[in-house]
């Protein structure tokens, strides 16, 4: 049981505190309820761009990293299609530095053509290195728009194209900031050797006078049910043919999310999992093969991906995967197999909750989803999954018309 306290400031900032005396450190985590799904389809990549711009300095603090390092701390951030998360870990005696720095850049950044150009070039180089210049790097650029036709999950956090970042204007960037990065669109979560009283006092001191902002209402188009199989074949300079399958699944808050997660574990978690044991170890159809969920907040995707042994044609390899999916749809899993993956999940949760930073991040996430208290119900939700649940959800998930399939072929291969 993770005990926590909550307070909402008058400007709408949600503050969550958890006391953890096991470390002399404090995590200050600020989660903004903005991600790539909040972008215009004609200007994608802005949420990720801001992950970089937020470290580019403010009028008061030109170099964000300097006071962090002077205080003996570390910092980083991540962006998803749903959220942008910034965090610092600091010695407890310097925890206030984190409140100061995060409130300072929430107030406003040092917007200038120069700072935008510097960070824009960083993002463009990242786009090239991670998505264009390495084998299979553009898979998400190809697979997402195949699976999604109207929902903004159709582009990854990096954006649809480099041009959207290259052509971004300063006024567009500023408008995006002031429409999303605000106290009434954020959760401040603090975990470590610091009292609730001190945490709330510091939150009020540093964030309390930041004005609420007008947040753009989120009106996301619902993705229609997929009614026919989709496929795409591309060729590139890659060492092996690769298969990428995506199936539409439920949202993060749906009661079947945890069922779906366990299905991915049955198929692909560890060397005794079904896909590895049958299609990598016993009969090496694939060099590697994985099944996993995206973890998106809106209805997301369940992925099956693998690099194919050159001895096998890619469509034959897909057929073998299909047989395993049909098997989990039509044959009840054994109780011991289900219990095994449940035990792994619970062990992972217990281990994760030993770290104060993980607790800060997860408390912020669940508070953004509606209630930080959900952090204490996760293990129960996995424990309560039944054999019937696995079969029921598998039958809906792995319908052939629900599949979007990308054949990623080496240039010398035949489809």
Does 352 score more than 90 pLDDT? no
DSSP helix/strand/coil, 255: coil
**pLDDT tens digit sequence for 354-363:** 899 999 999 9
Give the model's confidence band at 351: pLDDT under 50 very low, under 70 low, under 90 confident, else very high: confident
Cα separation, 42 vs 177, whole angstroms: 17
Of residues 414 and 2, more confidence is placed in: 2
Give the model's confidence band at 414: pLDDT under 50 very low, under 70 low, under 90 confident, else very high: low
Within a 10 A sphere around the Cβ of 394, how many other Cβ atoms? 23
Contacts of 260 (CB under 8 A, 6+ apart): 249, 250, 293, 302, 393, 397
At residue 168, the pLDDT reads: 92
Does 243 score more than 90 pLDDT? yes
At residue 29, the pLDDT reads: 98
Torsion sign (Cα): 123, 125, 130, 133? positive
Confidence (pTM): 0.95
Tokens of 243: 């298969």
**pLDDT tens digit sequence for 9-42:** 999 999 999 999 988 999 999 999 999 999 999 9
**pLDDT tens digit sequence for 42-64:** 999 999 999 899 998 999 999 99
Report, as an integer, the average pLDDT of 172-179.
Answer: 94
**pLDDT tens digit sequence for 73-109:** 999 999 999 999 999 999 999 999 999 999 999 999 9
Cα separation, 84 vs 363, whole angstroms: 15
> Domains in the chain, ordered, with CATH?
5-207 (3.30.830.10), 230-410 (3.30.830.10)
Does 312 score more than 80 pLDDT? yes
Does 415 score more than 60 pLDDT? no
At residue 354, the pLDDT reads: 81
Does 274 score more than 60 pLDDT? yes
Cα separation, 122 vs 118, whole angstroms: 6
Average pLDDT across the chain, whole number: 95
């Amino acid at each position: 049981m993770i005990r926590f306290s909550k307070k909402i400031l008058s400007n709408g900032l949600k503050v969550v505190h958890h006391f953890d005396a096991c470390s002399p450190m404090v995590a200050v985590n600020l989660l903004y309820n903005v991600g790539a799904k909040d972008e215009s389809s004609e200007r994608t990549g802005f949420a990720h761009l801001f992950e970089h711009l937020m470290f580019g300095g403010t009028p008061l603090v030109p170099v964000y990293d300097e006071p962090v390092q002077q205080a003996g701390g570390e910092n980083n951030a991540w962006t998803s299609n749903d959220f942008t998360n910034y965090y610092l870990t600091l010695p407890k005696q310097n925890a206030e530095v984190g409140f100061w720095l995060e409130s300072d850049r929430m107030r406003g950044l040092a917007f200038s053509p120069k700072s935008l150009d510097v960070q824009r070039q960083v993002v463009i180089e990242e786009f090239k290195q991670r998505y264009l210049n390495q084998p299979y790097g553009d898979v998400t650029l190809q697979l997402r728009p195949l699976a999604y036709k109207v929902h903004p999950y159709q582009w990854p956090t990096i954006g649809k194209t480099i041009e959207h970042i290259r052509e971004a204007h300063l006024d567009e960037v500023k408008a995006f900031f002031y429409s999303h990065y605000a106290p009434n669109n954020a959760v401040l979560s603090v975990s470590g050797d610091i009292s609730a009283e001190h945490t709330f006092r510091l939150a009020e001191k540093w964030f309390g006078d930041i004005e609420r902002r007008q947040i753009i209402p989120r009106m996301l188009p619902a993705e229609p049910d997929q009614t026919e199989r989709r496929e795409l074949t591309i060729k590139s300079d890659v060492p092996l043919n690769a298969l990428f399958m995506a199936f539409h699944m439920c949202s993060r808050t749906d009661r079947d999310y945890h069922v779906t997660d366990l299905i991915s574990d049955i198929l692909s978690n560890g060397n005794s999992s079904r896909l590895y044991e049958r299609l990598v170890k016993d009969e090496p159809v694939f060099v590697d093969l994985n099944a996993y969920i995206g973890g998106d907040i809106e209805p997301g995707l369940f992925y099956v991906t693998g690099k194919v042994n050159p001895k096998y044609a890619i469509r034959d390899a897909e057929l073998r995967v299909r047989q395993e999916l049909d098997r989990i749809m039509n044959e009840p899993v054994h109780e011991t197999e289900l219990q095994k993956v449940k035990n792994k999940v619970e062990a992972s949760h217990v281990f994760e909750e030993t770290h104060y930073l993980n607790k800060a991040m997860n408390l912020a996430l669940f508070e953004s989803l509606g209630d930080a208290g959900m952090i204490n119900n996760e293990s129960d939700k996995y424990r309560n999954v039944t054999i019937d649940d696995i079969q029921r959800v598998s039958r809906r998930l792995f319908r052939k018309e629900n599949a979007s399939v990308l054949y990623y072929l080496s240039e010398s291969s035949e489809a």
